[in-house]
Structure 1
């Protein structure tokens, strides 16, 4: 019965789709992207190589498909990265030992070491809480890695990062005096914030909640999820650091708001996976964020289920931090995340004092359920 339950649970993380690299049938997300197993293996083998060491006969313009994916390693690796595959999601492997000719004494020491390892292996398993205090890279299960990979893919697919990159390319191709005009910039920001609801719609944990609880969480958390997701994208495309764009943003949102937003941008220097996990944690937050809205707070009907998902994502974030860093660095990173959230909240408060910002955001807030219809 347990095996059947485990198998069903594992199958729930699969997604029937096509490989983003070559178009072959794919069911799993590897390293942040839905991909087939051959492309997964190819990326694993080649991602840490210098791409300059590879060569393309067509100057990097090959169209990678199922039929020709093996022909040009340069363009295939390039497409892996452009599709969103991340080296950071590799699981560390034990370093290969150098092959040496062992003497009788070395063999004896080896046997004694193995005996000690067996004794250690047979000791009672530690409590999970104690395991979390160690930089144990094995604490993430296969199920958790799949959960993490699917969550990362969801953000890359639905956050609007690709359209944001396209917007920056369009603006930079314009003459300087026509770049980042206020009205087009407001439409871009509005569209980016509107897409934040897709992060809820494509989260299977969120969709498993009853309608009333989804509605309450959506109304209470959408401002902060929108704000954090947008800031993350602004940082990736260097929007606030663009001098011309910075001036237009000050005209729209005011100097105080943009100065605070710049500090948030400076704080968003932690791992991208942690950023995506933080958005998921915020989506299930039960903190009252309705101080600056007219929505009445209602009691969640299945608070236990919401708290369960809070625990799942916070536990996943902490385990990933320990996988990525040592315990001390994990604590520092977690502290920086909290500082970022407090600064983000301050930015939202200041922004709501500016009429032009409310003109942008209020139409979105009045239709928060459109993606769930």
Structure 2
């Protein structure tokens, strides 16, 4: 139905051709000639609605999209990045060569371990493992997650360019460890999603064994761990193809491998640092207790 609205004013101009007009047609002040022209030539085309899942051309299925989302959100570095920003702001103001606030530095170091523990507890695939295999596997996973995630935060926050922070790290972990962390940083991809996927891949790198007096690794249930590895690798590869195409996917996936190899060297070096191994032991113990409590709750709920 055509709605024509009579203006209160006796005479106005057509908004299309500028001649005198006094009526609104189709929401626009227009003369009779323009009204007829647009009425005859109007195209009443219905807007097409799109189903985003149907229009999605990626290789990822719905379950893989869900896994991708879970892996991305399982690692939250927001608190650690906030501490890093405070460290940067304070050092920029005071411009000293040493940390002016050692308590803030301690808070950052502690936060790096706590953030790693939170990630491990939020990864549901770890719950699939039997308690015995999980206990054996957890130390290596914690080492990998802490190493790569800490370097990721340093890269994101640009904290590594501040000399007071570097000096404090050298005193804690040694000159060689700081240099190796810099080497890993060269391979950190600017895509945050990709780094978080790499973090999950590294956590389940069961095939990479670092001999340590703190870890007694057995090959029990390795097929399940390899299955999780392959699932993560497939999701990562499909994400790369979806976002960057095949050529860039190959380059970036190769870079991930180089990054994880460099991080493995860094983890190996850290086994000789007492302050790190002691803190890692505490982290693993707390994480194990959390999983045991969750297993107990699951058994109780199934028995009722």
Calculate the TM-score normalised by the size of structure 1. Answer: 0.56
- 3-state SS, counterpart of residue 59 of structure 2: coil
- Relative to structure 1, is the Cα distance of residues 247 and 181 closer, same or farther in structure 2, using a 3 angstrom cutoff? farther
Partner of 1:57: none
Partner of 1:342: 261
Q: 2:270 aligns with which of 330, 346, 351?
A: 351
User: Post-superposition shift, 1:293?
Assistant: 3.2
Q: 1:247 aligns with which of 167, 177, 195?
A: 167
Q: Contact 1:257–1:347 (CA<8 Å) still a contact in 2?
A: yes
Q: 2:72 aligns with which of 148, 152, 165?
A: 152
Partner of 2:86: 170
User: Post-superposition shift, 1:236?
Assistant: 1.3
Equivalents in 2 of 1:184, 1:246: separation in Å? 14
- 3-state SS, counterpart of residue 138 of structure 1: coil
User: Post-superposition shift, 1:233?
Assistant: 1.4
Q: Contact 2:117–2:287 (CA<8 Å) still a contact in 1?
A: yes
User: Post-superposition shift, 1:180?
Assistant: 5.8
Equivalents in 2 of 1:356, 1:218: separation in Å? 19
Equivalents in 2 of 1:327, 1:278: separation in Å? 18
Q: 2:230 aligns with which of 311, 329, 332?
A: 311
2:143 is aligned with 1:223: yes
Equivalents in 1 of 2:131, 2:142: separation in Å? 16
User: Post-superposition shift, 1:354?
Assistant: 4.1
Partner of 1:192: 112
Matches within 5 A, 1:47-66: none
Equivalents in 2 of 1:288, 1:368: separation in Å? 22
Equivalents in 1 of 2:124, 2:270: separation in Å? 32
User: Post-superposition shift, 1:247?
Assistant: 2.0
- Relative to structure 1, is the Cα distance of residues 251 and 219 closer, same or farther in structure 2, using a 3 angstrom cutoff? closer
Structure 1 unmatched runs, 5+:
1-135
User: Post-superposition shift, 1:163?
Assistant: 1.6
* Larger RCO, structures 1/2 (Cα 8 Å, 6+ apart): 2
Equivalents in 2 of 1:254, 1:290: separation in Å? 20
Q: Contact 1:235–1:265 (CA<8 Å) still a contact in 2?
A: yes
Answer 1 or 2: which has greater helix percent: 2
- Relative to structure 1, is the Cα distance of residues 207 and 365 closer, same or farther in structure 2, using a 3 angstrom cutoff? closer
User: Post-superposition shift, 1:340?
Assistant: 1.0
Partner of 1:284: 204
Equivalents in 1 of 2:86, 2:190: separation in Å? 28
Paired residues, what number?
A: 233
User: Post-superposition shift, 1:323?
Assistant: 0.9
Calculate the TM-score normalised by the size of structure 2. Answer: 0.67
Q: Contact 2:148–2:199 (CA<8 Å) still a contact in 1?
A: yes
Matches within 5 A, 1:1-373: 137-156=57-76, 161-171=77-87, 172-173=89-90, 175-177=94-96, 179=99, 181-182=101-102, 184-301=104-221, 303-358=222-277, 360-365=279-284, 367-372=286-291, 373=293
Q: Contact 1:228–1:344 (CA<8 Å) still a contact in 2?
A: yes
Q: Contact 2:114–2:283 (CA<8 Å) still a contact in 1?
A: yes
User: Post-superposition shift, 1:218?
Assistant: 1.0
Higher Cα Rg: structure 1 or 2? Answer: 2
- Relative to structure 1, is the Cα distance of residues 163 and 272 closer, same or farther in structure 2, using a 3 angstrom cutoff? same
Structure 2 unmatched runs, 5+:
1-55, 294-304
Residue deviations 1:212-271 (CA, integer Å, cap 9, x gap): 222222123221111111111121111212222122222222222111211212221242
Q: Contact 2:75–2:115 (CA<8 Å) still a contact in 1?
A: no
Equivalents in 1 of 2:83, 2:234: separation in Å? 36
Equivalents in 2 of 1:254, 1:281: separation in Å? 27
